[in-house]
Amino acid sequence: MYVYLPGFVSVNKRLLPLIVFIFDIKIYCYFKCINYVHIILNILKKFSGMNPLKNPRPIVFCGPSGSGKSTLVAKLMKDFPDNFGFSVSHTTRKPRSGEKDGEHYHFTNKENMQADINAGKFIESATFSGNLYGTSKASVDAVTKLGKICVLDIDVQGVKQIKKTDFDPWFIFIEPPSLEELETRLKARNTENEESLAHRLKVAEEELNYGNTPGNFHLIITNDNLEHAYAKLKNFIVEYLHSM
């Protein structure tokens, strides 16, 4: 869809808000006697990721399995491809075929990992099926040093552990509109058997209690309508980027 501006210049309609925005800044700068090109370039740089962020505060996403964390984070990554990064977790399980050390996980052994946990080198860790999994401070720092906001997907037990350390991320809780809807989504996702579904729903109840306890999270998003939920998340991120 194109519109014709005076002077016979045709412009894609989606660009109009940007043009109006730039025009507003130009007028503001004219009256304040500031160089508007400099201001616009800085704003564009910030949001395009051309400017690495200085010591960005990581963001921990938490919420019941199936509440939509991965879906919302994927949208965020698409909108801000250069501003976010994932840390690489450690595990003592054996690599599966195709998994690369340092890329999918840092593969290690129990003795070394337990020693590092005891030495306070991990912000959180847990045991699943007899194997240790965890997030090291170094792997979060590696993302932060690149000037990117480190995104972490951590369960409630992990969040409780992090809160006991000096690590100080933003905590965002994603909740489903109801347990019934959570069950529907998990069934539709087709990743669960009856046993794992029942387990996830039981854990979800406890997680929702923790998530909704005042003071535990900086932001709680009810993921009812995906676009509304994402708009709330994006507002938070844009405000955060502005404040840096």
Binding window for ligand ATP (CB under 6 A); candidates: 8-16, 85-93, 123-131, 223-231: 223-231
- Under rule CB under 6 A, residue 223 binds ligand ATP: yes
Q: In angstroms, give the least distance from the CB of 100 to ligand ATP.
A: 21
Is there binding between residue 134 and ligand ATP (CB under 6 A)?
no
Q: Is 70 in the site for ligand ATP (CB under 6 A)?
A: yes
Cα separation, 113 vs 126, whole angstroms? 11
Going by DSSP bridges, is the β-strand pair 122-128/106-107 parallel, antiparallel, or unpaired? unpaired
User: Shortest distance, CB of residue 73 to ligand ATP, whole angstroms?
Assistant: 8
- Residue 234 in contact with ligand ATP, rule: CB under 6 A: no
For position 216 contacting ligand ATP by CB under 6 A, the verdict is no
Query: Residue 228, Cβ neighbours under 10 Å: how many?
Result: 12
Closest to ligand ATP by CB, 58 vs 66, is 66
Per-position DSSP letters for 136-188, written without gaps between them? EHHHHHHHHHTT-EEEEE--HHHHHHHTTSS---EEEEEE-S-HHHHHHHHHH
Going by their DSSP bridges, the two strands 170-175 and 90-91 should be labelled as unpaired
Other C-beta atoms lying within 10 Å of the C-beta of residue 143: 20
**Interface residues toward ligand ATP, by CB under 6 A:** 63, 65-71, 185, 188-189, 223, 225-226, 229
